[in-house]
Chain A
C-alpha cells in the first residue's frame, strides 16, 4: 500500500484533537514554522508529554514568566544540555514508577547539530527512552540568524555575510549510525507525515530522533504567508528529504519516495529564489549546491 494512504488511514487532519496544547498568544513571529511543528507534535503526543527545551527560539516563544503557552510540563535547560537533562527526567520517572509519560526534548538545529551533539549522542548511546526533536530552521535564530552546522551551502547569515562555504551536516544519518530504533525527518508542509512519525516514535521503546524542517520568515527572508509553501518546495526540490530509518531500515516517505529519479525533482533554484538568504548566490554556487543535493540522493538510493 502507498505509504501516504497508510498515514491517511491513521489520521486525518480533521480527526486531530481539537484541544490546543501549544496555547495561543505565545511569542512566535508571524509565519513561524517552529510553532506549526510544535503545535502538531503536541497534538500527536498529547498532554502526558514533558518538554525539555534548551536555549533556542522555543525557549522564548512560550512567553516570559509568569506566563506559559505550554499546557504540559516543561523544563528549560542550558543550550547544550537538552538530551542530558531529558535522561535525568526519564531516569527519575523510571525510578519513581511514573508511567505513560513521553519525555520530549525539543531543540533547534544549533542545540542539536553543534553544541548539543555530544549530550545527544551520549543519551542515545545509552538508549534513553525519549523522543528528541530537532526543529531545523537552519541557523541560530534566537541570537540573530548566525550560521549553524545545519545551515546549507550558500546561505547568508549574520556570521556568513557572503554566504556559507560549507554544506549542511546530515544529523539524521549521524543519529542512524547510533543504531537507534527510530530516526525520521519531517517537514511542516506535510503534517500527516509529521504526526504519524511522532505517533510512531511514541510507541517505540528507546531513543527516537526526528528532525523537522521549519521555514523561518525572518531568518530565511521570505514573506510570512509562504512558510508552508517553502516547506513544500524544500521537499519537491530534494533540498529536504522525508525519510525514516526504523531499526536500520531506511525508507523514503510520501512525496520524497517519488523523487529518487533526479528528473522528478524540481531544480533547487525554485526553492532558492523565494528566499532572501540565497540572494547572493552565483550560478556556480547554485551548481555546487545542486550537485550536493544530487549526491545526497545518490546516497539515499544506496541506503534503500
Chain B
C-alpha cells in the first residue's frame, strides 16, 4: 500500500533505496549524510530489505565496492557528503567510464577548512566533469521520486551512466516533511530489475577496464558523451511517465514558476529554488514581472531549456550556492555558455549566496531581484558578480 509518512530527507533517501530494491549498498558515514546509511542498515538488519550492506572503511572503498558489485550484476546504492565525495573522486571517474549505473545520494555540504557541516554545492559541483548525471532536489518528496527516476534513467541501455541525487545538508537532510511512499508493486512496474548488458560472468569471460591506447580511448569517451546526450532526451520522458503513474513530475530538467510573462527570471538550484517561489509571489504582489526557474539537472546541463527561457525573459539573475575561484558561480557560467550564440540574449547577472549553510531567505532573493531589475531598467549590468549578505 502507498503510505504517507513524515520523515527527514536522509531517511527518505533510505526509503527510496529500499523501494528501488538495491542489491548492494556500500557506504561510509559522514555528517550530514549519516542517517541515510543508518536508515538502510536498519532496513537490512530488520529484514525489510533484501540487500548486502558493505560497511566499508572509507568512501573511496565505498565507490570501489559499488563498482565491483555493479560490474558483477548488482543494483548498487551509496551516499556521501563533502569530504567523502572528494575522497571518491578517482572512483567517480572509474564508475562512469566503466559505464556502471550506480545511484548515489549526495547530501550537499561545504568543503573545509574550516570544518563546516552545512549546505553548499561545493562538493558535488567540484565533480562536474566526472561523467555523473547530477540531480538537485528541492524537497523530500523529490528526493524519493528522483532516486527512483534515476535508476530508470541510468540503467537504460542507451545511457548506462551513474547519477548523483543531491539534497542540501541540514536544510533537507534533517528536516521532516510529509512524503508519499508509493506502493512497491507500482515502483516495481516503473523500475524493472537491473539487467546489465555486460557483467563479470565466468561463463562469458571478459576483461573489464583494460589498458587502452590513444587509438581507441577517444571512441570510448565519445560513447560517454553520446550516452549523456541520450540521458538529456530521456530525463523529461521518464519524469513525465513517472508523473502519469504517481501523480508527480518536476518539469524534467527545469522547474519553472511564473516564468511565462516574466521580464526577470531568477535561476537557482535546490532549496533556493523553493525559496525563490515565495519571493516571486511577493514580488508579483508588488506588480513586478518576475519568475523563477530551478535547474534540477546540472549534468546533462539543460541548455535548450535555458534557451527557451531566454525567448521571453529580458533578464536572467543566477543565484549560485557555490563559487569557482578565479571565475564565478558555476551555474552562472553554464547559463551564459548556453546563450552565447544568441544575438538577442537577455542581460545576465550572477549572485553568490548561501555558502557554508548561510540562510538564503526570500528577503535575500528580493534584494537580488531589486538589483537585477535596476540593471534591467538602465540596460547595463553594473556588477556582473555579486556576493549576497557579505559582512565587510
Count contacts on A: residues with CB < 8 A to the other chain.
48
Q: Most A CB atoms within 10 A — which of B26, B52, B94, B206?
A: B52
- With both chains docked as a complex, state the minimum distance between the C-beta of A85 and any C-beta of chain B, in angstroms: 4
Partner of B200, one of A66, A89, A126: A89
Partner of A65, one of B55, B201, B204, B210: B210
CB proximity to B under 8 Å, residues A60-113: 60, 62-68, 70-78, 80-81, 83-96, 98, 101
Q: Give residues in B with beta carbon < 8 Å to A.
A: 23-24, 26, 50-52, 54-58, 60-62, 64-74, 76, 90-91, 94, 200-202, 204-213, 216
Is B67 within 8 A of A77, CB to CB?
Answer: yes
Assess whether A73 is in contact with B205, with CB atoms less than 8 Å apart: yes
A24 at the A/B interface (Cβ < 8 Å)?
A: no
Given A88-B66, A89-B200, 19 more pairs with CB closer than 8 A: A47-B202, A64-B210, A64-B212, A65-B210, A67-B210, A76-B207, A77-B67, A87-B61, A88-B74, A92-B52, A92-B70, A94-B52, A96-B74, A118-B57, A118-B58, A118-B61, A119-B57, A123-B61, A126-B56
- A63 and B210 in contact, given A84-B60, A88-B67 (Cβ under 8 angstroms): yes
Q: Which chain A residues lie closer than 8 Å to B94 at the CB level? A: 77-78, 81
A302 CB to closest chain B CB (Å) equals: 30
What would 22 A/B residue contacts be, using CB atoms closer than 8 Å? A52-B68, A65-B213, A73-B204, A73-B205, A75-B71, A76-B209, A77-B67, A77-B94, A78-B91, A81-B61, A84-B26, A84-B60, A85-B68, A88-B24, A88-B68, A88-B72, A88-B76, A91-B65, A92-B70, A93-B72, A95-B24, A125-B57
Interface majority SS on A: helix, strand, loop or mixed? mixed
Shortest Cβ distance from residue B209 to the other chain A in the assembled complex, whole angstroms? 3
Query: Which of A50, A80, A87 has the most chain B CB within a 10 Å cutoff?
Result: A87
- Bound CA–CA A87/B68 (angstroms): 7
A279 at the interface (CB under 8 A from B): no
B207 contacts A95, C-beta separation under 8 Å: no
Question: Within the assembled complex, what's the spacing in Å between the Cα atoms of A180 and B207?
Answer: 29
| Chain A residues, Cβ within 8 Å of B68 | 52, 75, 77, 84-92
| A73 in complex: contacting residue of B64, B66, B202, CB < 8 Å | B202
Complex Cα spacing A72 to B56, Å: 27
* B54 and A87 contact, CB distance less than 8 A: yes
Cβ of A92 to closest chain B Cβ, rounded Å: 4
Instruction: Let me know if A91 and B58 touch, CB within 8 A.
Output: no
Pair A73/B208 contact, Cβ less than 8 Å: yes
Bound form: Cα–Cα A122–B64 in Å: 12
Question: What separation, in Å, do the CA atoms of A96 and B54 have in the docked complex?
Answer: 15
Interface pair B91/A64, CB less than 8 Å apart: no
Query: Is A121 part of the contact surface with B, judged by Cβ < 8 Å?
Result: yes
3 A-B pairs with the lowest CB-CB distances in the bound complex, closest first: A88-B68, A122-B57, A76-B209
